[in-house]
Amino acid sequence: MDTVTGASSLVRALEDAGCEVIFGIPGGAILPAYDPLLDSMKIRHVLVRHEQGAGHAASGYAQATGRVGVCVATSGPGATNLVTPLADAYMDSVPIVAITGQVSRSVIGTDAFQEADIRSISLPITKHAFQVTDPADIPAVIAEAFALAAGGRPGPVLVDIPKDVLAATTTYTPAPPVRNPRVTPAANEIRRAANLIASSRRPVFYIGGGVVRAGAAAELRTLAERTGIPVVTTLMARGAFPDSHRQHLGMPGMHGTVPAVAALQQADLLIALGTRFDDRVTGVLELFAPNAAVIHADIDPAEISKNRKADVPIVGDCKDVLVSLNAAVRRAPVLTSWWAYLDGLRDRFPLGYDWPADGKLAPQYVIERIGTLVGPEAIYTAGVGQHQMWAAQYVGYERPGSFINSGGLGTMGFAVPAAMGAQCGVPDRAVWAIDGDGCFQMTNQELVTCALENIPIKVAIINNGNLGMVRQWQNLFYRGRYSNTGLSTHQRVPDFVALAEALGCVGLRCAEKSEVDDVIMRAMEVRDRPVVVDFVVGEDAQVWPMVAAGTGNDEIMTVRGIKPLFDEDL
Amino acid sequence: MTRHALSMVLSNVPGALARVVVLFSTRGVDVESLSLDPTERGDVSRMDVVVGLPAGRSPDQLVKQLSRLVDVKSVVAVADPARDQIGA
């Protein structure tokens, strides 16, 4: 038991929790914590340029490493700038701990300078929020915050610490390790699931991000190969099952492949693992997989039967569930005619795109070439919109955690700070942010951080001059009236190459098909600075296939107006 | 709208009630009545609440969502809210 300040206690508690990097910005209320941080030999502090960047970086770090990501902000506006990353991490079940300074205990509730009630503000978007009122509690609160963030269904936890608590003299007592109880999957439900699998004729593994969080990709592959059952991976699960695997049908949902969507719709059994039947996957819920029995395994009991009633509910970590299922499934189902149907769809409706009529670069081609040349050992992040869907469709993912994006909240601007965080966690891997010109303008200030902190990420701006996904919807559903979606980035306002150079990065531009490979290779050769490539692409490219909002998955369109599952008798 | 009575035990700490009430608001739950009292133990409080749920929503889902909260020590849906009124 040593006599220390609250601030020193905080830094030691973070070190003891295994924290190796913090993304943050100092300010008045958190200032005491930054003094002992300067002396820490274990924790690297990355000075970001906006607190939102700190939060998304913590999320990128967590998703790339599987460890808890940490961000720090001061009180008031510093704390409120963390709201979006907290909500983002809550929706995508990412374990992060956010530490915020707060005004001193004596003035809480008096509208003091830079006071914001962040604990209340964050109520619906955190697993839990602590406000430390006794400096002696700091070690235990930090230990509990880390355990809560990582345990069960992971998520964000906030720790709000008043300035005078940080400044106070206290004692440091190392917190005893916090154990997270682990639920064992119920044996009778596992047995029922195994029986349903053995007797099914048209089963599908519907795989969600929970399989990635649980580190259960190997167990999934074993069970899939033993049973021969087809696999679809949602946006949050891309990489949980290798894209190159014969049994993989691709991503389901609004912009899923025809075989993946059809497999869910025609299935007699969904084996849903670590997934939450999100509306982007199900389309109109009443029309989703109408003839399927549902096995639904999730670590969060509140997700089971939330949107679709489960016939076999299994509460448990996906890894434990898959280990149990591997032991219980003795007999593989007969799937000859099922595979004949699905392979037929695969042959007839592969993912594909047309080149723009105006001779401009096809955005899908750019992303496909990045995936091919950079390869599956890299980590890819994305913002939100058309480029995100193309990144999900046209990069081949072979490893869990190799695609990091904002799935649930759909946060534009996620890609650059998430890539920064991922690169800090895995410095030996290449990290590519596939971004849009709209998203990039929301958070590109973190490239300064990357340039100064030796975080050599690559950013591929898929620059179509527009808020592309919104424009696509305006084209399809608002009679082509393009209200406020033009961004003028094709008129070089801003000039992304000049902007990149101003931010301390290498800036490159490419507008010709013949130059795409060359510019990607040049970007890969730069190791001492971040690189931004402005890929100037056609503005009319659209994301296909598409299930329009408010329709059932059977109405999936391969291109505008063509609905193969709906129009034809397959 | 269907009525359901919930009986809960909360940690007696600042913010516990707020978290429960915000969950009701987030999930579109109507609160008809609510009472909170410390128990003899002192470290926990007992909360009785009657809520209205949109038709088709089961109280099971709400019970599971409440169970996720760190400060909720236990929560059960009481069978018949008409008989088991608050303060009765």
What is the 3 state secondary structure string of A112-123?
CCCCCCHHHHCH
Establish if B71 belongs to a structural domain.
Answer: yes
Q: In chain A, what residues touch B15 (CB-CB under 8 Å)?
A: 119-120, 129, 131
Residue A545, preceding peptide bond in cis (omega within 30° of 0)? yes
* Structural domains of chain A ordered from first start: 2-172 (3.40.50.970), 187-348 (3.40.50.1220), 363-536 (3.40.50.970)
Nearest to A123 among B18, B67, B68 (CB): B18
Query: What DSSP element (H or E) covers A140?
Result: helix A138-150
Exposed, middle or buried: residue A120 (CB in 10 Å: 0-12, 13-18, 19+)?
A: middle
pLDDT of B25 above 90: yes
Spatial separation of the C-alpha atoms in residues A304 and A460, rounded to whole Å: 38
Would you say B17 and B44 are in contact if contact means Cβ atoms under 8 Å apart? no
Give residue B58's pLDDT. Answer: 86
Establish if B84 belongs to a structural domain.
Answer: no
Establish if B86 belongs to a structural domain.
Answer: no
Nearest to A124 among B22, B60, B70 (CB): B22
pLDDT of B84 above 50: no
Residue found by looking up tokens 């009472």 in the block: B35
Establish if B52 belongs to a structural domain.
Answer: yes
Q: Give how far the C-alpha of residue A242 lies from the chain's centroid of Cα atoms, to the nearest Å.
A: 18
Establish if B64 belongs to a structural domain.
Answer: yes
Establish if B10 belongs to a structural domain.
Answer: yes
Establish if B46 belongs to a structural domain.
Answer: yes
Q: In chain A, what residues touch B19 (CB-CB under 8 Å)?
A: 123
Establish if B36 belongs to a structural domain.
Answer: yes
B70 part of contact set with chain A, CB < 8 Å:
yes
A570 part of contact set with chain B, CB < 8 Å:
no
The answer to whether B26 contacts A129, with C-beta atoms less than 8 Å apart, is no
Give residue A566's pLDDT. Answer: 81
Q: In chain A, what residues touch B64 (CB-CB under 8 Å)?
A: 301-302
Nearest to A306 among B61, B68, B71 (CB): B61
Both structure tokens of A199:
């007797």
The answer to whether B65 contacts A305, with C-beta atoms less than 8 Å apart, is no
Best of B63, B68, B69 to mutate (most A CBs within 10 Å, chain A): B68
Taken as a whole, chain B contains a residue count of 88
- Note which residues in 101-120 of chain A have CB less than 8 A from chain B: 119-120
Best of A90, A93, A120, A123 to mutate (most B CBs within 10 Å, chain B): A123
Please write the tens of the pLDDT for every residue from A345-364. Answer: 999 999 999 999 989 999 99
**Can you give the residue range of the structural domain that contains B50?**
2-78
CA-based nearest residue to A441, from A506, A511, A523, A503: A503
Extended strands (E) in A208-260 = 231-233
Spatial separation of the C-alpha atoms in residues A32 and A489, rounded to whole Å: 43
A129 part of contact set with chain B, CB < 8 Å:
yes
Q: Number of folded domains in chain B?
A: 1
* pLDDT digits (tens), chain A, 570 positions: 789 999 999 999 999 999 999 999 999 999 999 999 999 999 999 999 999 999 999 999 999 999 999 999 999 999 999 999 999 999 999 999 999 999 999 999 999 999 999 999 999 999 999 999 999 999 999 999 999 999 999 999 999 999 999 999 999 999 998 888 889 999 999 999 999 999 999 999 999 999 999 999 999 999 999 999 999 999 999 999 999 999 999 999 999 999 999 999 999 999 999 999 999 999 999 999 999 999 999 999 999 999 999 999 999 999 999 999 999 999 999 999 999 999 999 999 999 999 999 899 999 999 999 999 999 999 999 999 999 999 999 999 999 999 999 999 999 999 999 999 999 999 999 999 999 999 999 999 999 999 999 999 999 999 999 999 999 999 999 999 999 999 999 999 999 999 999 999 999 999 999 999 999 999 999 999 999 999 999 999 999 999 999 999 999 999 888 898 887 655
The answer to whether B22 contacts A123, with C-beta atoms less than 8 Å apart, is yes
Locate the chain B residue with the closest alpha carbon to A129: B15
Give the number of other Cβ atoms within 10 Å of residue A107's Cβ.
Answer: 15
Closest chain A C-alpha to B81 CA, distance in angstroms: 23
Give residue B82's pLDDT. Answer: 57
Give residue A213's pLDDT. Answer: 98
The CATH number of the domain holding residue B48 is 3.30.70.260
pLDDT of B83 above 70: no
Active site residue A377: no
CA-based nearest residue to A536, from A556, A511, A558: A511
Would you say A253 and A234 are in contact if contact means Cβ atoms under 8 Å apart? yes
Nearest to A148 among B23, B60, B70 (CB): B70
The CB-based long-range contact list for B29-33 (8 Å cut-off, 24+ gap) reads: B29/B53, B29/B62, B30/B1, B32/B3, B33/B86
